[in-house]
Structure 1
Amino acid sequence: MKDGGRLAAAIEVLTEVETRHRPVQLALKDWGSAHRFAGSGDRTVIGNLVFDALRNKASLGARMNDGSARAVVLATYCLGWGKGLQALSDVLEQDHHAPAALSPDEIACLSQEPDSTPSPFEQADIPEWLWPHFETVFGESAIEEGQALATRAPVDMRTNTLKSDRDKVLKRLAHTGAKATPLSPVGARIEAKPDLGRMPHVQAEEGYRKGWFELQDEASQLAAHLAQAKPGEQVLDFCAGGGGKTLALAASMQNKGQLYAYDADRLRLAPIHERLQRASVRNIQVKDPATSSLDDLVDQMDLVFIDAPCTGTGVWRRRPDSKWKLAEKALQDRIEDQRRVLESASRYVKPGGRLAYATCSVLREENQAQADWFLEQNPSFQSVSALDIWKTTLPDARLPKYVSDRGDILLTPGSTQTDGFFIALFQRVQ
């Protein structure tokens, strides 16, 4: 396919996503199935166009005075990818599979700086209703943080220290351009490729198949690290999902002690079994909510880790369609879910034990406010400074920018080049 056909396909897919409210990955998959002539390179470029258009939908829509799929896809190619007006015009006029030629209004928008400054939420590429929430968290850095959440994410991997070490993983992945992560002591990163760039399929690598590393964002690695699961402890991963942090906790425990993986949604737990086998983890019991009870774990855990259900605002780089679907009611629902999870999970912490609360959100309501609420409702728990643990255990890593008075930490793409991630730690004192 030529670029004209790719632009037309991206507009078709993005229209499908927006008019039928379909997940972008499913829409792309269905388009590929219906257009078998498109090669893997074509599908990569089309996907990149769609994802980048979604990442920058507000700012590009403001620039074009038009938020339609056509407008933002063409602006992505011309402005976002730096192809320029002449190249875009040539593609549209010379390829009979391409969208219609540019209108005079489109040419004007693409060739001239806008007459007025876009609103802050448009510059930040976030929904308008969320702008006050971003200002509350980030202050003068709100636009910068929103723009960072609209960039492409790297591929981050966590070395499985039960089977390998980072130097060995980096050596095996040298052909991919992988480098050590700047913060996590066990992480490796392949930086995002611009424009038409195609990322390597690391799950096809021998090291992945042998269990030497797992895909996991650096922020998620750091959250598991700060929880400080130790060999010989009794640990409960209360919202284990597919098991990414479960595996990280198991590695910290060196396969010693007992780690319980639980999730209220048993379907989310399904991938964990194959991952456990590949990683050679032996100290995990998977607790299926349909067949298992946690009653015998009440007051018994040295550590309970909560990766709480949230709005996912911290992972917009990877799921850009989700930010335009997010509604105020969904935020309120997640706040209620988080409080129920906190109250339920805290029951399993033994006196002297620890509770780790994490989200992949950047919103205060889901993060700092929930930590405040939990401490108010549970006087038997006190705060533990995640920042102090960071300083002690990550002495070579730069300090995070967003830290509460208690030492709770918020990581962001703009400040730490990671996903947005919050971590607060507590200890049961009675």
Structure 2
Amino acid sequence: MSQNNTRYLASLVLKRVLDDNRSMTQALAELPEALSPSQKGQIQDFCFGTLRQLARYSYYLNQLTEQKLSAELNPIRYLIAIGMYQLDSERVADHAALAETVDAVIPWQMPKMKGLVNAVLRSYQREQESLAKKADATGLQVTSSHPQWLISKLKKAYPKGFKKIIKANLAHPPFWLRVNTLVNSAEHFSEQLKQADIEFSQDDDAILLEQAIAVDKLPGFAEGSCAVQDKAAQQAAKLLNAQAGERVLDACAAPGGKTAHILAASPDVKEVVALDIDATRLNRVAQNLTRLKADANLIAADASDDKWWDKEQFDRILLDAPCSATGVIRRHPDIMYLRRETDIAELAKLQKQILDNLWPMLKPGGTLLYATCSVLPEENKQQITEFLQQHKDAKLAPIFDSETASDPGWQIFPGNKNMDGFYYARLVKQA
């Protein structure tokens, strides 16, 4: 059996994520280079779809077997879950989903498990409806795959809306593009999409495709015509609103989408400094900027200290702070399994350190835009409220008239106008 069996490789990715605590991005990057784009796409679909419903599939498995599978048999557990996902999604014929999933046992060198995989999936075929009803009665931890600690935090923060957030987290994410106005116009790019028979809707420079496609199929992508960027992330450059002649800092800049957007939205700025602690990720910023025909001063350094700073203050600072990423679970379902409750307090502490460190780097009269892709108040409005209390020269610059110092910023929830979950708060330094 080929080691390139996509079900086998998908189960290998899941094992690396769930057993070895690797991110999905890391695990997918380790797939064999010889795989075709369609094979890679299928593996990604298997992994993302299965992770979104893994708790449910694990419940089904436990109902269909007399004994729970040991940890050594986790690859078999993941293969069965992939098979269940295929039967649910109806993207392939049932007999193909069964046969190819059973065959994927062979590369794991567990031939005796073929019978179990076949039997469980056939039983699932017969009992799908009754099993689903049983699972629905067990509660959100099974039906949503969200850990209980996250369900509790969401319920406490948003008692009337937490179920809607959870539902949105399990949905397939939209495919947003930003037209790169440094080399293209929205009108020209939309015409190119029409000529390529790519269906889309448009909101200024933001383009929403009806279906996700490979970026090499996008008109002029290699030449910098557009960037893949969620509409929520596209708000950063607009809210920062850098002006001609200003010096701008993009802190925690990787992978560089917001850096490039700042430069496209404000091409006459004096300088944009893109700062990131990870030199490898900063290389990706450089690659993205090169493709998008944009130029920034890249610095690999820690935003929580000032050793890198040349003592020249910035007119505007974007802090896209390290966060729990609980607003982008639909794009990264591995977050549900890799994130821990203890991470939240540690991240909030780091966010505060970075905010405190960057504030002296802002000119009097300057603007700092704080951003996260989180939906948790500890990382968002609570962070900003405390900062305003502790820095008397900081003043809230409301995005909306309804904002107050005790309820600051713009919390975007996943699925709101097809956007990812995001938070923005804008601060001005008083002279």
Q: Which TM-score bucket, shorter chain as reference? A: 0.7 to 0.9
Deviation by residue 1:336-369 (Cα, 9 ceiling, x = unmatched): 1101111011111111111100001111111111
The whole-number CA distance in structure 1 between the counterparts of 2:240 and 2:62 is: 47
**Counterparts of 1:40 and 1:247 in 2: how far apart (Å)?**
27
Unaligned residue ranges in structure 2 (runs of 5+): 64-73, 105-113
Structure 2 match to 1:106: 124
Are residue 49 (structure 1) and residue 70 (structure 2) matched? Answer: no
- Higher alpha-carbon deviation: 222-231 or 355-364: 222-231
Which SS does the other structure have where 1:242 is aligned?
Answer: coil
Distance, in Å, in 2 between the alignment partners of 1:78 and 1:215 is 31
Indicate the residue corresponding to 2:294 in structure 1.
281
> Structure 1 pair 39/302, CA: closer, same or farther in 2 (3 Å)?
closer
Number of the residue aligned with 2:310: 295
Q: Deviations over 1:280-334 (max 9, x none)?
A: 335x33334399831322xx32211100011111222222113211112222221
What is the match of residue 395 of structure 1? Answer: none
C-alpha distance in 2, partners of 1:95/1:225? 47
- Maintained 8 Å contact 2:247/2:269: no
Q: 2:205 pairs with 171, 176, 186, which one?
A: 186
Which residue of 2 is the match for residue 239 of structure 1? 252
Cα distance in 1, alignment partners of residues 51 and 100 from structure 2: 27
Measure the CA separation in 1 of the matches of 2:342 and 2:285. 31
Picking from 84, 93, 103, the partner of 1:97 is 103
The Cα offsets for residues 121-166 of structure 1, whole Å up to 9 and x where unpaired, read as 3333311111111113332221221121122223322112222211
Partner of 1:22: 22
**CA positional deviation for 1:54:** 0.8
- Give 1:28-427 correspondences, 5 Å limit: 28-32=28-32, 39-65=36-62, 68-79=77-88, 81-82=89-90, 87-88=93-94, 91-92=97-98, 97=103, 100-103=117-120, 106-107=124-125, 109-112=127-130, 113-115=132-134, 117-174=137-194, 175=196, 177-182=198-203, 185-192=204-211, 199-203=212-216, 205-282=218-295, 284-289=296-301, 293-297=308-312, 300-388=313-401, 406=407, 408-427=409-428
Question: For 1:247-299, what per-residue CA distance to the aligned partner results, in whole angstroms no more than 9, with x for missing partners?
Answer: 111122123332222223333322233333333335x33334399831322xx
Q: Report if aligned partners of 1:242, 1:272 keep a CA contact under 8 Å in 2.
A: yes
* 1:238 positional shift: 1.9
Runs of 4 or more off by more than 6 Å in structure 1?
Answer: 402-405
Deviation of residue 407 (structure 1)?
Answer: 5.2
- Cα offset for 1:372? 1.2
Q: Contact 1:308–1:359 (CA<8 Å) still a contact in 2?
A: yes
Change (3 A) 1:238 1:96: closer
Provide the C-alpha distance between the structure 2 equivalents of 1:230 and 1:90, rounded to a whole number of angstroms.
58
Q: CA deviation at 1:46?
A: 2.6
In the aligned structure 2, how far is the partner of 1:426 from the partner of 1:101?
59
| Cα distance in structure 1, aligned partners of 2:171 and 2:101 | 29
Query: What amino acid is the match of 1:92?
Result: L
Contact map agreement 2:385 2:408 (CA 8 A) in 1: no
- Classify 1:374/1:39 alpha carbon distance in 2 versus 1 (closer, same or farther; 3 Å): same
Matching residue's letter, 1:179:
F
* Structure 2 length-normalised TM: 0.82
**TM-score, normalized by length of structure 1?**
0.82
In the TM superposition, residue 370 of structure 1 has moved relative to its aligned partner by 0.7
The answer (yes or no) to whether the contact 1:124–1:144 under 8 Å persists in 2 is: no
SS at match of 1:245: helix
Identity of counterpart residues, as a percentage? 25
Q: What SS class does the counterpart of residue 334 from structure 2 fall into? A: helix
Question: 1:203 offset after TM fit, Å?
Answer: 4.3
Residues 149-158 or 244-253, more deviating: 149-158
- Cα distance in structure 2, aligned partners of 1:94 and 1:263: 43
* Structure 1 residue 208 displacement after superposition: 1.9
Q: What SS does structure 2 have at the residue aligned with 1:231?
A: coil
For residue 78 of structure 1, what is the amino acid of its counterpart? L
- C-alpha distance in structure 2 between counterparts of 1:306 and 1:94, whole Å: 47
* Distance change >3 Å, CA 345–CA 91, structure 1 → 2: closer
Deviation at 1:188, TM superposition (A): 1.3
Change (3 A) 1:178 1:338: farther
